[in-house]
């Protein structure tokens, strides 16, 4: 009983409810939601936004924000593909991953330098670096669409863990890249849950000076968070390129808003300190599901943006109301403790 009560106090539970209700509506309207193919397609569409959301989630929990990751990912994937194509690379897929991760690390460190070391406001700093990354991509490198990828990247993008098939023989592929998402989720989970570094991220987001007094290394922790998010974003760029079998420099621009909305939707406080990985994954799942179900729901094209916006507002409202409620419940006990 207590467990259930505890559950109803968590934002994640309500996001989960919204997902279930929406899924049932889509199922009722199209008879297609709970099919193997559709679930595999959703998992496929989830990979890139979910990867982005994990790094960004850690940044937001630490009290920062990052809007530069789509530009970073585009830059990393473009440089890696051009360089590897230039040397007619035919080796294993791990090299492009490490290469892109390294570029991501460098760009993330660039963000971290400004925000952690020089204490610039995170939003302004990453808006700036976003323009810098785009500028390098489109000005200095004069980036254009690349249609031919190194063979191992192409193979990776077209390989699948399994193929689902529905009754009339239509197939859907579960990309191998889904494994990358699983690995990153596990790493992030372990860091946040079981390491002092992870506790530090929450502590700094809650109150920086208290965290400092408690002995957390504020600058180092913040710097780590931006580097970690940079590595993930770089690798995500390569994954997107492999899955699309091409590099398109502007393809990911604009995703930062969806990702940040999903994180807040998942119950993470935009000012930092609170939030869970589960909530973030549920939030990004909900938004991906909405974006990939409007046709099945039969929403006319004119109304699709409206519906997406509406669902973001409803979802965020559900979690805000929940936070308000739990704050109200906490107050009396606090005053009791004070008296």
Partner 1 sequence: MKKILAILVVAVMSVALFACSGGTTPSASASTEASTEASTEASASADADGGTTAGDGNYTIAVVPKDSTNPWFVRMEEGVAKYQEENPGMTVFQKGPAETDAAQQIQVVEDLIAQGVDALCVVPHDPGAMEDVLKKARDQGIVVITHEASSMENCDYDLEAFNYDEYGAYIMNTLAEAMGGEGKYICMVGSLTNDSHNMEADGAIAAQGKDYPNMELIDERIVTDDNAETAYQKAKEVLKKYPDIKGFVGTSSFDAPGAGRAIEEAGLIGKVFAVGTGMPQTNKELLDSGAVSALTLWDPADAGYAMCKLATLVLNGEEVGAGTDLGLDGYDSLTLDGHVLTGSAYITLTKENVDNYNF
**Per CB under 8 A, which region of 12-20, 110-118, 124-132, 211-219 contacts partner 1?**
124-132
Chain mean position to CA 232: 9
- Reading the block at residue 330, the tokens are 């906490």
122, 65 contact by CB (below 8 A) = yes
Indicate whether 172 belongs to the interface with partner 1 (CB under 8 A).
yes
Give residue for tokens 């809007």. 67
Q: Cα 211 from chain centroid? A: 26
- Return the range that interacts with partner 1 (CB under 8 A); candidates 97-105, 194-202, 254-262, 276-284: 254-262
Q: Tell which one of 106, 127, 185, 318 touches partner 1 (CB under 8 A).
A: 127
Interface with partner 1 includes 335 (CB under 8 A)? no
Buried b (16+ CB within 10 A) or exposed e, 191-230: bbeeeebbbbbbbbbbebeebeeeebebeebbbbbbbbbb
Shortest reach from residue 212's CB to partner 1, in Å: 19
Which residues, 183 to 242, sit near partner 1 by CB under 8 A?
240
How many Cβ atoms sit within 10 Å of the Cβ of residue 250? 14
Q: Is 67 in the site for partner 1 (CB under 8 A)?
A: yes
Residues 36-55 within binding reach of partner 1 (CB under 8 A): 37-38, 41, 45
Q: Does 30 bind partner 1 (CB under 8 A)?
A: yes
CB-wise, 191 or 204, nearer to partner 1?
204
Binder to partner 1 among 257, 310, 314, 321 (CB under 8 A)?
Answer: 257
Length of the chain: 339
Binding string, residues 265-304; x marks residues near partner 1 by CB under 8 A: ----xxx-------------------xxx-xx-x-xxx-x
Q: Please, are residues 290 and 272 in contact by the beta-carbon 8 Å criterion?
A: no
Among 7, 21, 92, 131, the residue binding partner 1 under the rule CB under 8 A is 131
Q: Which residues contact 187 (CB under 8 A, 6 or more apart)?
A: none
Asked whether position 123 contacts partner 1 by CB under 8 A, the answer is yes
Q: How many residues interact with partner 1 (rule CB under 8 A)?
A: 54
Burial group, residue 40, by CB count within 10 angstroms (0-12, 13-18, 19+): buried
Q: What is the closest distance, in whole angstroms, from the C-beta atom of residue 3 to partner 1 in the complex? A: 29
In the stretch 136-165, what mask flags binding to partner 1 with x, by CB under 8 A? --xx--xxxx-x------------------
**C-alpha distance across the termini of the chain, in Å:** 31
329 part of the interface to partner 1, by CB under 8 A: no
Distance separating alpha carbons of residues 155 and 93, to the nearest angstrom: 9
Q: Whose Cβ is closer to partner 1: residue 30's or residue 278's?
A: 30
Q: How far is residue 37's CA from residue 332's CA, in Å, rounded to a whole number?
A: 50
- Return the number of the residue (66 or 198) whose C-beta is nearest partner 1: 66
Q: Which residues pair with 6 in a beta bridge?
A: none
Token pair in block for residue 265:
């939707």
Token pair listed for 80: 């890696």
Q: Which residues bind partner 1 (CB under 8 A)?
A: 30, 32, 35, 37-38, 41, 45, 65, 67, 123, 127, 130-131, 134-135, 138-139, 142-145, 147, 168-173, 240, 244-246, 248-251, 253-254, 256-257, 264, 269-271, 291-293, 295-296, 298, 300-302, 304
């Amino acid at each position: 009983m207590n467990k259930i009560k505890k559950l109803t106090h968590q934002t994640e539970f309500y996001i989960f409810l919204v997902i279930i209700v929406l899924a049932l509506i889509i199922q009722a309207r199209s008879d297609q939601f709970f099919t193997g193919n559709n679930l595999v397609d959703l998992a496929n569409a989830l990979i890139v936004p979910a990867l982005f959301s994990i790094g960004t989630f850690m940044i937001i929990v630490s009290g920062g924000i990052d809007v530069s990751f789509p530009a970073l990912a585009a830059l990393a994937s473009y440089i890696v593909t051009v360089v590897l194509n230039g040397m007619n690379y035919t080796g294993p897929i791990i090299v492009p991953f490490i290469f892109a991760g390294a570029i991501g690390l460098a760009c993330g460190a660039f963000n971290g330098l400004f925000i952690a070391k020089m204490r610039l406001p995170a939003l302004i700093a990453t808006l700036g670096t976003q323009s810098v990354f785009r500028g390098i991509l489109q000005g200095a490198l004069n980036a254009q669409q690349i249609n031919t990828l190194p063979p191992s990247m192409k193979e990776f993008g077209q390989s699948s863990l399994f193929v689902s098939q529905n009754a009339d023989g239509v197939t859907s592929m579960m990309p191998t890249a889904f494994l990358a998402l699983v690995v990153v989720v596990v790493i992030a989970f372990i860091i946040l849950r079981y390491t002092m570094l992870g506790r530090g991220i929450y502590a700094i987001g809650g109150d920086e000076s208290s965290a400092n007094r408690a002995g957390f290394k504020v600058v180092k922790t913040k710097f780590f968070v931006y580097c970690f998010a940079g590595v993930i974003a770089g690798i995500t760029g390569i994954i997107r390129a492999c899955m699309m079998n091409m590099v398109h420099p502007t393809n990911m621009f604009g995703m930062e808003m969806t990702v940040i909305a999903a994180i807040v939707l998942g119950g993470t406080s935009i000012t930092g300190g609170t939030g869970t990985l589960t909530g973030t994954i549920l939030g990004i799942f909900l938004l991906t599901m909405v974006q990939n179900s409007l046709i099945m729901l039969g929403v006319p094209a004119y109304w699709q943006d409206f519906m997406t916006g509406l669902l973001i507002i409803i979802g965020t409202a559900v979690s805000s109301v929940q936070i308000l409620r739990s704050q109200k419940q906490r107050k009396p006990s606090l005053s009791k403790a004070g008296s």
